[in-house]
Amino acid sequence: MILSILLLTFGSALILSAQDIDGNAILEKIDRNLSPESFEAYRKLINIEPNGRTKEFVLYTVKKGTDKVAALFLSPASEKGRSTLRLEDNMWLYIPNLAKPIRITNLQSVVGGVFNNADIMRLDYAVEYSVEETEDLGREYILHCKARTRTVSYDRLTIRVEKKRLLPIQIDCMTAAEMLIKTLSFKEVKDFGGGIVRPSVIETESPLYKGYKSVMIFANIKARELKDEVFTLTFIPQLDSLRR
């Protein structure tokens, strides 16, 4: 009897506190904690095969506002000069030999491996997802998110959030039928300067690529004001000129 009363009281408190929490506000805060609204950054992507063999890619990325992202491959030499541009839901790939941008989709992967274009060219989570349900687990929140449009790669996200710093710990990316596509694990929180304290490593595993793992490492994340014209098809071949 006492146990039932305790459970009822505790359960009600959980639900009440969850109802009081604005999940979308948390999601927006997570976005700002991960990066300023406009920034530049360097990223290394490592594809790890089941036999331990690795393949690495280095990208320079710029983002402006809620709808503009561009990335330039700096390494390896076979990919150098490849650039991607995202303007809202429009996404293009520029290959130096081809010398003209072609439209690509979120679901493709310009590098192969577990990361796809949506992971590399991600807009803010709050732009693409709305929080349907929030759980308060004491030290963590669990955000159950639904894609705002059908053009988003993953229909549902379940985000485990560190309550104290409002930083993601793990994100499960799922289909509309709640089939797990991949899991992103956020690790090694680092102070990048300029008030940016965030995980510097994201590890990705997918049941669709059994035994494979991809890792994304961030460096030199800096707030930067950029002109809108940077995020245009005409400028894609010249992204390297932004690097200082």
CB of 127 to another protein, least distance (A): 15
Q: Which of 105, 139, 179, 195 binds another protein (CB under 8 A)?
A: 105
Per CB under 8 A, does 219 bind another protein?
A: yes
Question: Judged by CB under 8 A, does residue 179 bind another protein?
Answer: no
Rounded Cα distance, 143 and 20, in Å: 14
- The CB density around residue 227, as the number of other CB atoms within 10 Å, is 10
Chain Cα centroid distance, residue 97: 29
Number of residues that bind another protein (CB under 8 A): 65
| Token code pair at residue 213 | 């793992």
Assess 74 for contact with another protein (CB under 8 A). Answer: yes
Task: Provide the Cα torsion 195, 141, 183, 115; round to 10°.
Answer: -30
Nearest one of 159, 132, 124, 151 to 28, comparing CA atoms: 124
Of the candidate spans 13-21, 81-89, 129-137, 160-168, the one that interacts with another protein by CB under 8 A turns out to be: 81-89
Instruction: Between 49 and 178, name the residue whose CB sits nearer to another protein.
Output: 49
Exactly one of 15, 16, 189, 233 binds another protein (CB under 8 A); that residue is: 233
| Residue with smaller CB distance to another protein, 33 or 106 | 106
Collapse the DSSP code of 120 into the 3-class scheme (helix H, G, I; strand E, B; otherwise coil) and give the result: helix
Phi, psi values for residue 126, rounded to 5°? -65, -20
User: Using the rule CB under 8 A, which residue among 14, 21, 38, 56 binds another protein?
Assistant: 56
DSSP of 51-83, one letter per residue? TS-EEEEEEEEEEETTTEEEEEEEESTTTTT-E
The footprint of another protein (CB under 8 A) covers: 42, 44, 46-49, 53-56, 58, 60, 74-78, 80-81, 87-90, 95-100, 102-103, 105-109, 112-113, 150-151, 188, 201, 208-210, 212, 215, 217, 219-220, 226-235, 238, 240-241, 243-244
